């Protein structure tokens, strides 16, 4: 494989929940297909009669609960994930029968939620999360006027045939594994956050000031999600009737007399807050996915509020977290539909453990050991959302994930680094193999686990 050349902001994306693979990815697909339509000859567009979107695999199985139909429709109507107002998606849900003018092709060319078809869960496409968008001509036309197959591979990333390669610079520091990063740090004497910062500048061409501003924007969006979640009350959208808990947990944390109880309650409250905002379809940051979007924001708020850590140190912690996310995506997966919940909550917990260790001033060995311990103790976790909604068990798993991250950090900080027996590369390899062996019903299809044990709440 080639060296990792992702941008930090490929991994940490601002956009609407509740699922990066089921919401952001399909919305990106809709936007992409709209651009394809805009480039078609006028006579081709003039012959169009309707659009059709077919969802396959996990997108079909849990698309209703994740709002996949609304997301792809919003993209086709020109909405980008980073700037799509939550009210726009809420309005699509409130008016499912409404037709919307596409603004391309014949004046009468409209589309609505009924143009999104929930296709077979078992299908021949390479990716579990596949959708196909077609522009159709008059009845009897043999072939679509335009068609594109998309794979939504987690974290808001999108793949499709003929996709042009991103034109980017080469990383200054080349690595594929944590072993490579250890060699870089040992040989060059450079710290992990600096490796990440210098690579980001080289890959994207952005200045240091621009990269830091981007990190601040991500951290601000994360903190806004925590703040909004702590203030909100009532029921989350959907038929489960699930009550928000973040505000109550936070209020109870303020009355805890034992310091350890206060720490755990704060971590849980912050994670619940951002995860509940995600479940409501509000703006969050993929870290690395929407389903795990409560863990890194909880860690950042904890460092800021409970430990009074400086913002520059929190940035450095976020850079270390991004390195762990890159390694998991490059060598395994971060998509629940591909690897189960170990790939979402497990990777996010590993990222948070690395963030805590980095922010506390520890070197790469402790950062790696913290991340490995957190990931190791999520191995085998299935993705089994009840009713297909990113609510049960997803929200509580964010809280458990950040608590495990904190515990992993404490263990790594206390042990002698050389006594740690399992490396992060080995844990990621185990996660990849486990996900490959996991039955598809445990990978975001809502066909196994809690999704069938607790069919009605």
- Indicate the pLDDT class of residue 120, thresholds 50, 70 and 90: very high
User: Per the structure block, which two tokens stand in for 396?
Assistant: 């509580």
Alpha carbons 254 and 240: distance in angstroms, whole number? 29
What is the pLDDT, as a whole number, of residue 170?
94
pLDDT at 62 over 90: no
Convert the pLDDT of each residue in 161-215 to its tens digit: 999 988 899 999 999 999 999 999 999 999 999 999 999 999 999 999 999 999 9
Contact predicate 65/390, CB 8 Å = yes
Residue with tokens 């951290």: 219
Alpha carbons 354 and 342: distance in angstroms, whole number? 17
Neighbours of 98 (CB within 10 A): 11
- Indicate the pLDDT class of residue 457, thresholds 50, 70 and 90: low
What is the pLDDT, as a whole number, of residue 93?
87
Convert the pLDDT of each residue in 319-341 to its tens digit: 999 999 999 999 999 989 899 99
pLDDT at 418 over 80: yes
- Short-list 259, 265, 228, 282, CA closest to 84: 282
- Indicate the pLDDT class of residue 446, thresholds 50, 70 and 90: confident
pLDDT at 455 over 80: no
Structural domain spans, the chain: 17-159, 178-453
Cα distance from N-terminal residue to C-terminal residue, the chain: 45
Convert the pLDDT of each residue in 64-105 to its tens digit: 888 999 999 999 999 999 888 888 988 998 899 999 999 998
- Indicate the pLDDT class of residue 107, thresholds 50, 70 and 90: confident
- Short-list 381, 382, 390, 327, CA closest to 354: 327
Stretch 108-125: mean pLDDT, rounded? 95
Contact predicate 68/55, CB 8 Å = yes
Give me the phi and psi of 174, to 5 degrees please: -90, 135
Decide the pairing of beta strands 283-285 and 14-16.
antiparallel
pLDDT at 123 over 80: yes
Alpha carbons 450 and 386: distance in angstroms, whole number? 6
Alpha carbons 20 and 383: distance in angstroms, whole number? 14
Task: Decide which of 455 and 232 is more confident.
Answer: 232
Element (H or E) spanning 288, and its range? none
Q: What is the pLDDT of the chain when averaged over all its residues?
A: 94
Cβ partners under 8 Å of residue 412, min gap 6: 353, 357, 362, 366, 367, 369, 370, 373, 420
Reported CATH class of domain 17-159: alpha beta
Burial of 60: CB neighbours in 10 Å, binned 0-12, 13-18, 19+: buried
Contact predicate 431/379, CB 8 Å = yes
Convert the pLDDT of each residue in 243-257 to its tens digit: 999 999 999 998 877
Convert the pLDDT of each residue in 143-161 to its tens digit: 999 999 999 987 788 999 9
Alpha carbons 269 and 229: distance in angstroms, whole number? 9
What is the pLDDT, as a whole number, of residue 456?
61
Instruction: Read off the DSSP letter of residue 166.
Output: P
Contact predicate 1/74, CB 8 Å = no
């Amino acid at each position: 494989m080639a060296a990792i050349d992702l941008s930090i902001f490929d991994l940490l994306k601002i956009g609407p929940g509740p699922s990066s693979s089921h919401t952001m990815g399909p919305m990106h697909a809709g936007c992409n297909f709209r651009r394809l339509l805009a480039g078609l000859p006028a006579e081709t567009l003039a012959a169009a009669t309707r659009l059709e979107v077919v969802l396959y695999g996990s997108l079909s199985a849990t698309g209703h609960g994740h709002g996949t139909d609304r997301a792809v429709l919003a993209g086709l109507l020109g909405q980008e994930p980073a700037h799509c107002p939550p009210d726009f998606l809420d309005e699509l849900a409130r008016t499912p029968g409404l037709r919307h003018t596409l603004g391309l092709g014949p004046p009468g060319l409209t589309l609505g939620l009924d143009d999104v078809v929930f296709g077979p869960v078992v299908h021949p496409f390479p990716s579990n999360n596949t959708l196909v968008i077609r522009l159709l001509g008059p009845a009897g036309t043999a072939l679509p006027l335009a068609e594109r197959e998309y794979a939504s591979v987690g974290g808001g990333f999108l793949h499709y045939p003929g996709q042009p390669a991103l034109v980017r610079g080469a990383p200054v520091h080349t690595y594929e594994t944590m072993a490579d990063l250890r060699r870089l740090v040992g040989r060059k004497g450079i710290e992990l956050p600096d490796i990440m910062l210098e690579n980001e500048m080289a890959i994207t061409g952005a200045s240091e000031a621009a990269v830091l501003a981007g990190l601040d924007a991500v951290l601000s969006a994360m903190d806004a999600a925590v703040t909004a979640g702590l203030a909100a009350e009532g029921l989350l959208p959907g038929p489960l009737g699930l009550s928000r808990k973040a505000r109550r947990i936070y209020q109870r944390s303020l009355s805890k007399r034992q310091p350890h109880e206060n720490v755990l309650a704060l971590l849980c409250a912050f994670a619940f807050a951002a995860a509940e905002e995600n479940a409501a379809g509000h703006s969050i940051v993929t870290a690395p996915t929407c389903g795990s979007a409560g863990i890194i924001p909880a860690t950042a708020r904890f460092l800021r509020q409970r430990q009074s850590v400086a913002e520059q140190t929190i940035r450095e912690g976020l850079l270390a977290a991004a390195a762990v996310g890159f390694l998991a995506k490059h060598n395994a997966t971060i998509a629940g539909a591909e690897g189960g919940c170990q790939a979402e909550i497990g990777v996010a917990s590993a990222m948070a453990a690395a963030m805590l260790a980095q922010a506390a001033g520890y070197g790469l060995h402790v950062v790696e050991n913290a991340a490995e311990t957190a990931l190791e103790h999520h191995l085998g976790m299935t993705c089994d959302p009840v009713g297909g909604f990113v609510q049960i068990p997803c929200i509580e798993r964010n809280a458990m994930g950040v608590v495990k991250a904190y515990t992993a950090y404490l263990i790594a900080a206390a042990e002698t680094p050389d006594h740690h027996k399992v490396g992060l590369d080995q844990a990621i390899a185990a996660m990849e193999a486990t996900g490959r062996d996991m039955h598809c019903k445990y990978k975001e299809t809502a066909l196994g686990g809690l999704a069938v044990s607790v069919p009605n709440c």
